[in-house]
Each structure stands twice: as structure tokens, then as C-alpha cells.
Amino acid sequence: MKASDVVTQLRVLLPQLTGVLTDEVSVRSLSRSGTTITATCEDDHGLELGQAVNVSGAVVPIPIDPLTRSGTVGTLVTTSDHDLTNGIAPTVEISGANEAEFNGTFVRTNVDNRRTIKFVMADSGATLATGSPVLLGAESALRDYNSLYEVTEIPSAAKFSFTSGLADPVGTIVARTNPRIASVVDVEQAVKGYTSKQPGELWLFVALGDVFASKSRANQSDAVSFQGRGAEYRQQVIQPFTVFLFVPVSDSVAGAVGRDEAEDLFRPLCQSLLFSRFGSGLGAEALGTVQFVSHGFYHYNSAVYVHAFAFQQVVDLTDVDTVGPDIDVAFRDIDLTLAFEHGTEEIASSIDLDDEPLP
């Protein structure tokens, strides 16, 4: 496992869940030309060509045609497949209708199929919506507009462009840039560097722990393992790592605000790391996933509160990670003696393998 892999994943996923670790610029509008999307920001974005930017708050609209009401039952039919199901969609959100009674969030009663949904409405007003109604928040997670993009053009200080093949989004869109996430070897040195620069922002630092073998509970000694080549070799190795949250607390009393900030970040960190598989460099790359271990206080002074989130990935050492059989030992001669059960006769044979050329 490499710390850089963990940092990269956190830089991609965390800005979709929280803006506390990035610079944030409001996006006034998005315009499309083919697959090139140009974002117009409220302020200077500070981005450079080729830099990564996270788009957050965007919702892909799915057109509805028709949108009707019969009594208290509303029915929408989307023009393309939605991804809502009865199990995960207690409500539906609609916008874009000319009639106000069709816009808003409604309690879903049934998802009839991949294009038809029924929901509860007030028994009043129009029975057929006009305008351009759309269903919001019903797109597949695999087609989510909110993601990490590479800046392909910078038309101006308040505009940047990137590539996307999805429909034009709606919503309260923000561009999140410059994620404050890095890796360290010595956390104490990171604390010194952080406090010496008069910090005012949250940072995350990823530090790898010492890798160690998991002891077998079947062993009757302190040895790690007694496995031999008589059976399939498999030994578990634990790869721990810790994510340290640095919170500036110079304006707080006793750093309590830092502890609360850590609690707010716990779920987004789990959503960004749990069940991930980071490269182990071993033969069984597909085995083992990241699991949560613990989180709690690590360090506090008058300038910074540091909180530690501990995770680990368990991977397997297998036969392909071992020395293997002694195939490099020279094999030259064979001496064979065959004795009979009765009598003293013996048949002996000596074979010099160098007499014949190797096949």
C-alpha cells in the first residue's frame, strides 16, 4: 500500500461530501458546446490549465412527459430511464413545470417501472403540467455529474472548461479546488510545520503504519506461523494507515471545536475509504479491503487540534510471494541399489546425467 494512493482517492471523493478541505467558488452557470462544459464562476477561480477541479451540488435533470394528476395521485413519466426504486426513493423532486402545484418534493407511493412513478399531491389545481418539468436526483450514481474533472481551458479568471457527456445540470453548483490533503511520514514534524505558518484552514495528512503479520490463533507459541509447504500457503498481513485531521483552534477554548469537526468528518471519511482496495504489491491483489479501526484525540496545543482516524487493510501472502521450490540446485547423478527380499543379491546402477545432452 502506498500513501499516495490513499491521498489520491481522498482528493477525488471527499470534496463530493464536504467542502471543509477545499477552496470553494460558486458557479453561476454552465454552458455546453458539444462535450465541452464552460463554468462561469461568481469570483476568480484561481485554477490553472490541467489542474483538477471537483464539481459539487449539480443535479442531472431527467425530462418528464407527461406529468399529470388524478385526485391526490400524481403520475410522472420520464423520457429516459430513471434509477429510483421503492426501496431507496421515499420522495421525488420535480421542477420546471409552469403550474406551481407540480413543483417541489412529493411523497412517492410507487415506482411502477423504470420510467413511471406515482406520488401524493394536493387534490386541487391543474391536472396536466405544462412547461418543461424535470425529475431531479434520479440519475444513476454511475452517471453522477458531481465528480473530479481536468481543466481543459481557462477563457478568463472567472471561467474554466472541462469535458462531460452528461446532460446540462441544475442545482446550487460549486467548484471545489486545491484539496488540502497530503501524506506524511512523521506527524510530529507536520504539527511543527503547521503551527509555524499561522494556519487558518483544515488539513488532512495520511501516514502509513508499520506492516505486520497477523498471528494465528492455532499456534501454541509466540511464533507468527508454523505453515509449511505441505498445504497451501496463506498468511494474513495487516497494513495499517492513519488519517490525521488538523483543525485550527486558536480562537476556541480547550480545542473542543476541533473534536466536533472530527466527528463531522467521520462519516465522509468512511464513505471515501471503507471497502476500497489499495494496491498491496502482492500476488493476491484482489483480496482484502479497507476497514475502520478507531478514531480519537491525538494532539492539542493552543494553535491546532489533531485527530487520528485509524484504518487497516488485510491482505494475504500466498505461494507466489515466497521463494518457491529449490529449482536452482544442480542435479547430476543417480545411484540406485535394489535389494531382493530373499538372498543377498543386489542390483546396483549408477547413472551419469552428463553423459546425455539435456533435452
CA distance 274 to 241: 13
Tell me, what's the pLDDT at 99? 95
The topology (CATH level 3) of 62-137 is: Elongation Factor Tu (Ef-tu); domain 3 (2.40.30)
pLDDT tens, N- to C-terminus, the chain (359 residues): 899 999 999 998 999 899 999 999 999 888 888 889 899 999 999 999 999 999 988 888 889 999 999 999 999 999 988 888 888 889 999 999 999 999 999 999 999 999 999 999 999 999 999 999 999 988 766 567 788 899 999 999 999 999 987 777 778 889 999 999 999 999 998 888 887 765 678 999 999 999 998 876 666 667 776 666 655 778 889 999 999 999 998 777 777 888 999 999 999 999 999 999 998 888 877 778 999 999 999 999 878 999 999 999 999 888 888 876 655 566 667 777 777 766 667 777 777 766 655 55
CATH of region 182-216+233-321, choose from 1.10.1790, 3.30.2000, 2.40.160, 1.10.8: 3.30.2000
Residues 6+ apart with CB under 8 A from 288: 277, 280, 313, 314, 315, 316
Domains of the chain, by residue range, sit at 23-59+144-177, 62-137, 182-216+233-321
Q: What are the angstrom distances between the C-alpha of 301 and each of 20, 215, 264?
A: 21, 38, 21
Question: What is the rounded CA–CA span in Å between residue 156 and residue 133?
Answer: 33
Q: Give the model's pLDDT for residue 209.
A: 94
pLDDT at 78: 94
For residue 254, what pLDDT is reported? Answer: 72
Distance CA 288, CA 282 (A): 11
Question: Quick count: other Cβ atoms within 10 Å of Cβ 201?
Answer: 14
The predicted structure's pLDDT at residue 156 = 94
Q: What is the pTM of this model?
A: 0.73
Domains 23-59+144-177 and 62-137 share a fold: yes
- In the chain, how long is the greatest CA-to-CA distance? 115
Q: Give domain 23-59+144-177's CATH architecture.
A: Beta Barrel (2.40)
pLDDT score for 228: 63
